[in-house]
Amino acid sequence: MTSKSMDKIMALSKRRGFVYQASEIYGGINGFWDYGPLGAQLKKNLREAWWQDMVMNPCGGALGPSGEPVRIVPLDTCIIQHPKVWEASGHIAGFSDPMVDCRETKARYRADHLFVYAPQSGDRQGKPLFAYLPDSTSEQKQKKKAEKAFGEVVSVELVKVAKEEWASVLAPEAEKVGSLTEPRAFNLMFKTYIGATATEDDVAYLRPETAQGMFVQFKNVVDTTRVKVPFGIAQTGKAFRNEVTPRNFTFRSREFEQMEMEFFCHESEAPQWYAFWRDARMAWWKSLGLSGENLQLREHDKDELAHYAKNGAGTSDVEYRFPFTAPGFGELEGIAHRSNFDLRQHQTHSRTNLEYFDASRGELLPNGSHKGEKYLPHVIEPAAGLDRGVLAVLCEAFTEDASRPSPELMRIHPRLAPIKAAIFPLVNKEGMPETSEKLYLELFRRFGRAGFVEHDVKQAIGKRYARMDEAGCPYCFTVDGETASSQSVTVRDRDTGAQERLAIDRVSDWLSEKLGVV
């Protein structure tokens, strides 16, 4: 892939109102991002595409591994749960990252994110090791210093450097070696207090994932609806992680949104459902215009598996090649077989029986029915990041083409585009604005619920096209000098810049087909 500049993508995102730094007028707040008008609508469109394709019509009506319909029900659970939820899930004891501090510069790093440049010869005795954070200014600076000192250098993960050698590590931006502290486990959960007294007894946590709310309500969903295993529970919502080093634009934020689904099935069927969801989720991201070469499905190695997935069918990540990870990839979504770890933990900690009675299993009785079987269902979890999804869409869409009126354009998939169509009069006179206004109102009434429909009468037509290209609007309709006599307008395709004429009374149906909106 041609390399894209993250700086340019961030500049366009700000300029066109996709993403703003949170609290910018106060200097910003690290790890928090706001979405501008176009970004908010883009994010909503991606969330709704997920909702449509996971909840309302899972996988576009595709059948499950045994030819059964795929059933998913939605849920909306609280950001703050009973603190015991997080004890049961393992987040209080184990949801931490290894953190190191630099005593000299006072900077804080995730130990597993730092690398050092060392002599390629392998002879490190008494020599400094130059630490850096990939993709930061420290990388080139430290490389230069290391090459000056040793000639040929190799890059080594800091966590693979023996503890006795840490005294020789020169931290990024530091002057003297040995300034890094020992790694300490840092819990990523945001703490808060419930009620007015704010004592340690009132501690609660902002959820670090939406998943647990769905496990905790599993029994209620089974008891109050007619779902039968296998089925899924899905929800979207905010999650909070006090990341040690939030970075790479919105990729690693402290407040972000997830789109998660917990699919409950019998243990014997978990491998088939795991393969089903892994492939379905990869196909979904592709359907939204993320190109094949920038997407990959990566199966986790055995030693990479989370504790709850150790004995399961596996875990795979859908990964996207972001400009800051290229030529490598970054995680967009994880699909994991979580076994029945979570239900088991909540059953133990809450002392509530969460077993499911499956009337379709167990010994066959003389009357032809089954005796039934009680079990804790296994779970296949596709867990996607909405903000990372938006970021991947922005990165994929960003295109530079110096020959165009807009040297930078956003090729956002029409289903996700925040502005669905723009209508222009070629000039602001000769009856053209009146005709374009009429067409605008017609299209706004039909498509306004899917995204913005714009009517713009100002500036030269080339500038108006350029504005829409940058905003990712896929189709622009122009009322021109021929419209009155031929009852037709031009439609301009954002991606090719090509224009064709279309009968004015066909425009609405034509757009409906293109957008897939009735």
Q: Residues interacting with ligand GAP, by CB under 6 A?
A: 209, 211, 241, 243, 252-253, 256, 258, 260, 331-334, 381, 383-385, 387-388
Closest separation in Å from C-beta 393 to ligand GAP: 13
How far lies 420's CA from each of 41, 191, 320, 473, in Å?
Answer: 11, 41, 25, 6
412, 42 Cβ separation under 8 angstroms: yes
Task: Return the number of the residue (92 or 156) whose C-beta is nearest ligand GAP.
Answer: 92
Shorter beta-carbon distance to ligand GAP: residue 257 or 469: 257
- From the CB of 432, what's the least distance to ligand GAP, in Å? 46
Nearer to ligand GAP, 332 or 426 (CB): 332
Of 384 and 504, which has the nearer Cβ to ligand GAP? Answer: 384
DSSP string for residues in 249-317 = TTTB-SEEEEEEEEEEE-GGGHHHHHHHHHHHHHHHHHHTT--GGGEEEEEPPGGGS-GGGTTSS-EEE
**What residues does 57 pair with on adjacent strands?**
none
- Closest CB to ligand GAP among residues 385, 451: 385
Q: Which residue has the tokens 């969460």?
A: 354
With a CB cutoff of 8 Å and minimum separation 6, the contacts of 173 are 102, 105, 107, 138
* Residue 35 beta carbon to ligand GAP: minimum distance, rounded to whole angstroms: 13
Minimum distance between the CB of residue 239 and ligand GAP, rounded to whole angstroms?
7
Q: State the DSSP code for 493.
A: E
CB of 297 to ligand GAP, least distance (A): 13
Min separation Cβ 109 and ligand GAP, Å: 16
Considering all CA atoms of the chain, what is the largest pairwise distance in Å, rounded to the nearest integer?
A: 85
Nearest distance from residue 246's CB to ligand GAP, in Å? 7
Of 114 and 379, the one with the shorter C-beta distance to ligand GAP is 379
Using CA atoms, how far apart are residues 259 and 46, in angstroms rounded to an integer? 10
Residue tagged 């031009």 (tokens):
490
Q: How far is the CB of 188 from ligand GAP (least distance, A)?
A: 9
Q: Where are the beta strands (DSSP E) in 46-158?
A: 72-74, 96-101, 108-110, 115-119, 129-132, 153-157
For residue 318, which phi and psi values (nearest 5 degrees)? -85, 120
Please list, in sequence order, all residues whose beta carbon lies within 8 angstroms of the beta carbon of residue 31, skipping any fewer than 6 positions away: 243, 246, 252, 253, 254, 255
Cα–Cα distance measured from residue 189 to residue 206, given in angstroms and rounded to the nearest whole number:
7
C-beta closer to ligand GAP: residue 29 or 502 = 29
Q: Tell me whether residue 13 or residue 258 sits nearer to ligand GAP (CB atom).
A: 258
- Closest residue to ligand GAP: CB criterion: 385
468, amino acid identity: M
Looking at the Cβ atoms of 53 and 381, the one nearer to ligand GAP is 381
The minimum distance between CB 190 and ligand GAP, in angstroms, equals 12
CB of 219 to ligand GAP, least distance (A): 19
Residue 505: other Cβ atoms inside 10 A: 11
- Contacts of range 435-442, beta carbons closer than 8 Å, 24 or more positions apart: 435/479, 435/483, 435/484, 435/504, 436/477, 436/478, 436/479, 439/477, 439/479, 439/489, 439/504, 439/507, 442/507, 442/508
> How far out from the chain centre does Cα 93 lie?
26
CA pair distance 112, 156, nearest whole angstrom: 11
CA triple 327-186-170, angle to 5 deg: 60
Q: Give the residue with the Cβ less far from ligand GAP, 72 or 211.
A: 211
Task: State which residue, 180 or 318, has the beta carbon closest to ligand GAP.
Answer: 318
CB 15 → ligand GAP: shortest distance, Å?
Answer: 23
